[in-house]
Amino acid sequence: MSKKDVVETTEAQIAVHWKEEDYYYPSSKFVGQANLSDPDIFERFSLDNFPDYYTEFAELLTWYKYWDEVLDTSDAPCYKWFKGGLINASYNCIDRHLKDNKNKTAIHFVPEPESEKVEHITYQELYVRVNEMAALLRDTAKLKRGDRVTIHMPMSAELPITMLACARLGVIHSVVFGGFSASASADRIVDSQSRVLIVTDAYYRSGTLLDHKINADEAVKIAKDQGQTVDTVLVWQRYPEKYSSDTPLVEGRDIVVNQELSKYYGVRVEPEKMLSEDPLFLMYTSGTTGKPKGCQHGTGGYLAYVTAMSKYIQDIHPEDVYWCMADIGWITGHSFIVYGPLALCASSVIYEGVPTYPDAGRSWRIAQELDVNIFHTAPTAIRALRKIGPDEPAKYNYHFKHMTTVGEPIEPEVWKWYESAVGKGEAIIVDTWWQTETGGFLCSTVPGIKPMKPGSAGPGVPGIHPFILDDEGKEITEAGIAGNICIRNPWPGQFQTIWGDRDRFVKTYFADICRNPDSKDWQDWPYLAGDAAMMAEDGYFRILGRIDDVINVSGHRLGTKEIESASLVVQEVAEAAVVPVAHDIKGKEPDLYIALRPGVEPTEEIARKISDAVCDQIGKIAKPRKVWLVPDMPKTRSGKIMRRVLGAISNKTDVGNVMTLANPEVVEEIRVMVQD
Ligand code: PRX
């Protein structure tokens, strides 16, 4: 982390977007029905009462046995929440609702083709299907408590069914975003040591049925080369009656789930009584080095936290129809499509396709048909919907009481369109700031208590105590000054460690600001989020962006090092540098600068090869805006590539004084190439 980076991010972003805005107040109709409208919560959740206040969250769940200790800090900063408690996540998301709500819809699955019927899965049906899948995982795939399994599936009802079946058995799932490549899937298989891979054979994206099975074969091959054998691939068929993937099944390894399930019709699997601190899942995310980090989330703490956030910040009531547009392959989908809403017995919508396909009215038709009243999406989708169909929402008869924005800073103009056009002036908005690592929200307004402020996430949610540090580690208490946002206290949704790499966990998130590395006291271990932020007079936090080498593309985190490493597999490449470029829909896009090996002539074909290599190894989401084949990289005298200079060129801002560089002349050459 460097002060310069923070300040530059801050100044650039303030200049572009941020003005102090007016407050927006929730309607009395909303406040009257809100799950949380008593401001005393902030008093109750003050640090004086830490960690006991979190028992209020844990009590939202059904436990086989209550905990012996709320928080065990003996291995700080690896914490155990609700230690000694026994619980099962699948039981909490399904079984406990059957007595009163078995005929209620748990999941509405909306296929991308509008001609396909929407699937409405009741809690009873979910129970049956999860039990049968759990039996298959146990008896066919020989999975047991503590094993890891990699799931590379797109959006479908079968994805949460598979996750909940894993949770029933105590198998740790690691879901890989469906749009990621075989190579990204292989990296996660190897790191998590999965011997079972679960995939779907095909899925729809913008009107095309994509063959996905092919990725499984390649992922297994790559994983094997890296020493991890996958002995079983479970293949869900997307359209068992009318389509089968062209990619053949591998004898002795591949099993078609839809067929195999017939062996388990009617079988029930007792949920495993898991220790609260047992891991529930891994979710890989990008960091400052090429290797993605497997964020390990626990069972009791995580589930308590996401259930409470769904109830108090998302304001989900059991009668609500809730639609979160995120992909389940990211943390938002895990916490706020699957675990949180289902633990509260809500009806959760899963949509297979892109929100703007086949036209800008699709999302609003879904909302109208399913009577969605809580809507959750990201600025990138809001910008896209606003750009191509600003007047579309008014054409449809739906009414949202509550809307969420998450994943990146939202510009006040875009926020206002979201409020007036999408929300029709009737919905409250929460801007929730959080991360894969944090399991659930860190900053947001409590919608029934605090007013909204466009462009600001808000104060810490009840129980979270954020503060800002400067680069010397000194707290900034003054309003309006940017620094590194940190959290003073642990919380139950916080990840437990990086899978298999405790040292990296401590080093990345705690070591820089730890007050005493030998301490077992949580107060000595504040959490460093990796974002720049500033606090306003009213205690609201405005998030300014990442301070590490991460680019936020459409709300998804991509490591610059991951993209650079991917391009370096192309033989002709000598050096690579990635910088973020502003994009009006995606927020940011990667621009890739390449210096070729001596003697290699730059050609369009090489540039295409490099771009393809990035897509192959990571996924299309990482596709560079442009591959610039430059004569040399601008470098310091010590040989460090000046990414900041390249970033200024890509974004057409001032490159500053470059005369101290080892090769200042190259800056102008690159500028002409990129800007003219
Ligand atoms: O930079 C912050 C940004 O997204 C990062 C976390 O990304 P990820 O782990 O993929 O999780 C995304 C879903 C929570 C953060 O470090 N970010 C997230 N929410 C916001 C945000 N930036 C501004 N405002 C937000 N509401």
The 10s digit of each residue's pLDDT in 270-291 is 999 999 999 999 999 987 666 7
ipTM metric: 0.99
Q: What is the mean pLDDT of residues 589-616?
A: 94
Q: What is the mean pLDDT of residues 571-594?
A: 92
- Residue from 557, 588, 621 to probe ligand 1 pocket by mutation (most atoms less than 8 Å from CB): 557
The 10s digit of each residue's pLDDT in 7-59 is 344 444 443 344 445 899 999 999 999 999 999 999 999 999 999 999 999 99
Q: CA-to-CA distance for 599 and 327, rounded, in angstroms? A: 44
Q: What is the mean pLDDT of residues 411-417?
A: 89
Atom of ligand 1 nearest to the CA of 529: 16
Q: How far is CA 368 from CA 73, 203, 375, in A?
A: 48, 24, 12
Q: Could you count the other beta carbons within 10 Å of the beta carbon of residue 273?
A: 16
Q: Is the pLDDT reported for residue 545 higher than 90?
A: no
pLDDT value of position 21: 59
pLDDT value of position 289: 64
CATH of the domain spanning 554-675: 3.30.300.30
Q: What is the mean pLDDT of residues 632-638?
A: 84
Residue 2 pLDDT class (50, 70, 90 cuts)? very low
CA of 556 to the centre of ligand 1 (A): 8
For the chain, helix (H) and strand (E) counts, in that order, are 22, 31
pTM attached to this predicted model: 0.91
User: Whose Cα sits closest to atom 22 in ligand 1?
Assistant: 408
Q: What is the mean pLDDT of residues 510-531?
A: 95
Q: Is the pLDDT reported for residue 570 higher than 90?
A: yes
pLDDT value of position 547: 83
> Which of 206-210, 425-429, 585-589 ranks highest by mean pLDDT?
425-429
- Residue from 176, 309, 434, 546 to probe ligand 1 pocket by mutation (most atoms less than 8 Å from CB): 434
Q: How far is CA 196 from CA 98, 114, 203, 299, 498, in A?
A: 31, 33, 21, 21, 21
Least confident among 11-15, 202-206, 491-495, 583-587: 11-15
Residue 676 pLDDT class (50, 70, 90 cuts)? confident
Which two structure tokens, joined as six digits, stand for 167?
């949770």
- Using a 6 Å cutoff on CB, does residue 434 contact ligand 1? yes
Q: What is the mean pLDDT of residues 145-153?
A: 98
Q: Is the pLDDT reported for residue 497 higher than 80?
A: yes
Least confident among 32-36, 241-245, 329-333: 241-245
pLDDT value of position 424: 97
What three-state secondary structure class fits 583? strand
Q: Where are the domains of the chain?
A: 554-675
pLDDT value of position 239: 86
Q: Is the pLDDT reported for residue 1 higher than 50?
A: no
Q: Could you count the other beta carbons within 10 Å of the beta carbon of residue 372?
A: 22
Which two structure tokens, joined as six digits, stand for 29?
């109709």
CA distance from start to end of the chain: 33
Q: CA-to-CA distance for 335 and 198, rounded, in angstroms? A: 20
**Phi-psi label, residue 327: left if phi above 0, alpha if psi -120 to 50, beta otherwise:** beta
Q: CA-to-CA distance for 406 and 442, rounded, in angstroms? A: 11
Q: Which residue has the higher pLDDT, 659 or 441?
A: 441
CA of 546 to the centre of ligand 1 (A): 9
User: Whose Cα sits closest to atom 5 in ligand 1?
Assistant: 435
Q: What is the mean pLDDT of residues 206-235?
A: 96
**Phi-psi label, residue 226: left if phi above 0, alpha if psi -120 to 50, beta otherwise:** alpha
Q: Could you count the other beta carbons within 10 Å of the beta carbon of residue 2?
A: 11
What three-state secondary structure class fits 402? strand
